[in-house]
Chain A
Amino acid sequence: MTTLTVRRDTPGARRKRTHRGGAGSRIWDATPLTKVMLAFTIIVSAFPIYWMIVIASRTNSDAVDIPPPLLPGGNLGENIVRVLNDPDAQFLTGLTNSAIVAVSVTVSVVIISTMAGFAFSRLRFRGSRVLLLAVLLTMMVPIQQMGVVPLYRLMVELEWTGQLKAVILPYLLNAFGVFLMTQYTEQAVPGELVEAARVDGASTLRIWWNIVLPAVRPGMAVLGINTFMITWNDFMWPLIVLAGNPTVQVAIRNLNAQHSTDYVMIFTGTTLSVLPLIVVFLVFGRQIIGGLMEGAVKA
């Protein structure tokens, strides 16, 4: 906890630094070598995605051509139709299911974490230290992998297998979210502000709603984007518990298992599954990166 308090004032310090220019800071200019390295990194980062789209827009004979094709073809539209209409893959179901799961988990995790984060950072109550420690410890435990057998049997008992709530509910447990929002609230909501509102007669829940929520909105956005991506990408648990009612990741796996040589079909499905995330990323890139970096320094 002490390291966290020390770091709280660093954004200010950083801002000051960027204002300082002058000859002394020329050591910070990127050398040509650095620029080449960065350009190379971007090419490596983008290439598999680009190539995925190339194959998705071509035919199966192109996909196994030597040398491999490097430019997109004109078959993307018909490939998409073919994927969406494939009865085995249930691709549309997968996309819809993933959207429902990811949105429900994201909204709930953000609310739950914001509530708990407020309590841990700005309210005094008996046992708060022990409870916060419990949160921190669970961050170290991969519960989804470790507890997979009892969780599955629980879902069987409840007759929830194949239903989306079997995937949504376990993922509402998110220790990182509580931790992040505790840090964020501590930094964004001054303690005096809460005290002042209390003196004015505001109840705790009212303070949470009217003062804390507006102030921690950036933190909520970071946590929300993070949670959305993790949930959208989750694979192991939906694969186990959602037989016959896949999320999009499981749908791709099914495509892969059933049409193992129909590369175009698999790649088109993969493209469709990645597209929503890339669109979100292109629109909110600045916020995602800003939030990621802020969260990293605070964590």
Chain B
Amino acid sequence: MSLHTEYSGPHAQARSGPQVAAPPPRNSRHAAPGAARRFLSWLDLKAAPYLLVSPYFLLFAIFGLFPLGFTLWYSLFDYELTGEQEWVGLGNYSELLADDQFWKVVVNTLAMFVIATVPQLLLALMLANALNKRFRGQLFVRMGVLLPLVTSVVAVAVVFTHLYGRDWGMVNWLLGLFGIDPIDWKAERLPAWLAVSTMVDWRWTGYNAIIFLAGMQTIPRDLYEAAEIDGASKRRQFWQITIPMLRPTIIFVVLNSTIGGLTLFAEPMMFYGGRIQGGSDNQFQTVAMFIVEKAFSNFQYGYASAAAWLLFLMILIGSAINFMLIRRIGGRK
């Protein structure tokens, strides 16, 4: 902002000057012929914006449009291990829809998404509400809350996988103190989903809380003070003021979580010792893992590509549903 004052002089002159198009005299020492110079500055005005955005769109073409388009193209072929390819039209898609493993990984992905995201967002909202209060050591507390984010996904998965170990994991030990028999977390679907979901939640709850906190701080405090005078309870204030006013932030966070949750990959992979199958019977394999397994273990490029497009469809539908749900929540004020 200091720039503003620095430039206010010439700026003011420019405003008061009669014609913007006339070349300022101080530049005359460049001694270029007027027409050529005007052409250059016209070129600068017209071409420079494209020059500035061109690196992004060049990358976009090569690493965005090209892979997306070719994924669609590949999905219409059947690839043999020998490198032969055969046009099958929508064959891969109909085969996927009849593939038990595919449905299994879709259910796994959706289940882990719901188990991880719903409590996570509720917790993050509560946590943000707490962070929005006045207390000492604010920076320290916020850093503490955000600490899980700066660890790596793989690290989180390694530590949690050990915590969830069947024979000497800390979770089973703690449960044992309450007389609960050890759980084989990887063996069954539900325990495995829960274990993977806690990894996701541990890492992302604090981050989402900080994002919600940022949104909460833009809500005018007068609203709460007025509600307080009117005798509204804290709970009522939270649901009637905070949640509706926070709607844009909630939409942002939910859409982010939807994309992240439906493309879950590292946590379930590391939970099975870094292997792609997601359990002995694919109990916790996700769609993203399925795609990688089909493409790079089985070399079924067409099949994997079709699965990638179905994943994208899932993300679009999931985002649309969540978007509409949240709009309804906000509209209830």
Using a CB–CB distance below 8 Å, which chain A residues touch chain B? 3, 7, 10, 13-14, 17, 24-25, 27-31, 34-35, 37-38, 41-42, 44-46, 48-49, 51-52, 55, 63-68, 112-113, 115-116, 118-120, 123-125, 128, 131, 134-135, 138, 140-143, 145-154, 169-170, 172-173, 178, 188, 190, 192-193, 195-197, 199-201, 203-205, 208, 211, 214-215, 229, 232-233, 235-236, 240, 248-249, 252-254, 256-257, 260, 263, 266-267, 270-271, 273-274, 277-278, 280-282, 285-286, 288-289, 292-294, 296-297, 299
Q: Is the interface of B mostly helix, strand, loop or mixed?
A: helix
**A21 to B244 alpha-carbon distance, docked (Å):** 26
B residues contacting the other copy or chain, number (CB 8 A): 114
For B225, list chain A residues within 8 Å (CB): 24-25, 27
Interface window among B111-119, B187-195, B209-217? B209-217
- Check A193 against B7 for contact (C-beta < 8 Å): yes
Q: By the criterion CB–CB under 8 Å, are B288 and A201 in contact? A: no
B7 x A236 contact (CB < 8 A): no
Q: 5 shortest A-B CB distances, which residue pairs?
A: A147-B67, A204-B48, A150-B70, A293-B214, A42-B144
Q: Give B231 Cβ to nearest chain A Cβ, in Å.
A: 12
Residues on A with beta carbons closer than 8 Å to the beta carbon of B154: 233, 235, 249, 252-253, 270, 273
Kindly state whether residue B121 has any CB partner on chain A within 8 Å: no
- Which of B98-106, B301-309, B325-333 contacts the other chain? B301-309
Q: How far is the CA of A272 from the CA of B217 in the complex (A)?
A: 36
Q: Are B266 and A41 in contact (CB under 8 A)?
A: no
Query: Which listed residue (A28, A199, A277) contacts B151, Cβ 8 A?
Result: A277
Assembled-state Cα–Cα distance A211/B6 (Å): 11
Q: Mark B199-224, 1 if CB is under 8 A from A, else 0.
A: 00010001100110111011011001
Interface membership of B178, Cβ < 8 A: no
B53, CB-defined interface residue at 8 Å: yes
The CA of A236 and the CA of B274, in the complex, are separated in Å by 11
**B positions within 8 Å CB-CB of A:** 1, 3-4, 7, 10-11, 14, 17, 20, 23-24, 26-27, 41, 44-46, 48-53, 55-57, 59-60, 62-64, 66-68, 70-71, 74, 126-127, 130-135, 139, 141-156, 158-160, 162-163, 167-168, 170, 173, 202, 206-207, 210-211, 213-215, 217-218, 220-221, 224-225, 228, 248-249, 252, 255, 259, 263, 265-266, 269-270, 273-275, 288, 291-292, 295-296, 301, 304-305, 308-309, 311-312, 315-316, 319
Partner of B158, one of A64, A115, A252: A252
Q: Which chain A positions have C-beta within 8 A of B127?
A: 37-38, 41
Using CB atoms, name the residue of chain B closest to A206.
B44
- Can you name 8 A-B pairs with beta carbons within 8 Å? A17-B220, A154-B67, A201-B26, A204-B52, A266-B158, A273-B152, A289-B142, A294-B214
CB closest residue in chain A, given B45: A204
Q: Report yes or no: B68 in contact with A147, Cβ–Cβ below 8 A.
A: yes
Residues of the B chain whose Cβ atoms lie less than 8 Å from the Cβ of A173 = 56, 59-60, 63-64
Pair A45/B145 contact, Cβ less than 8 Å: yes
Q: How far is the CB of B7 from chain A (nearest CB, A)?
A: 6
**Is there an interface contact between B56 and A113, defined as CB atoms closer than 8 Å?**
yes
Query: Pick the contact of B149 from A31, A141, A147, A229 — CB < 8 Å?
Result: A229
9 A-B pairs besides A30-B134, A41-B144, A49-B148 with CB distance below 8 A are A143-B67, A146-B309, A149-B301, A169-B62, A193-B3, A249-B153, A253-B274, A267-B159, A281-B143
Give the distance in Å from the alpha carbon of A54 to the alpha carbon of B321 in the complex. Answer: 44
Contacts of A205 in B (CB 8 A): 48, 51
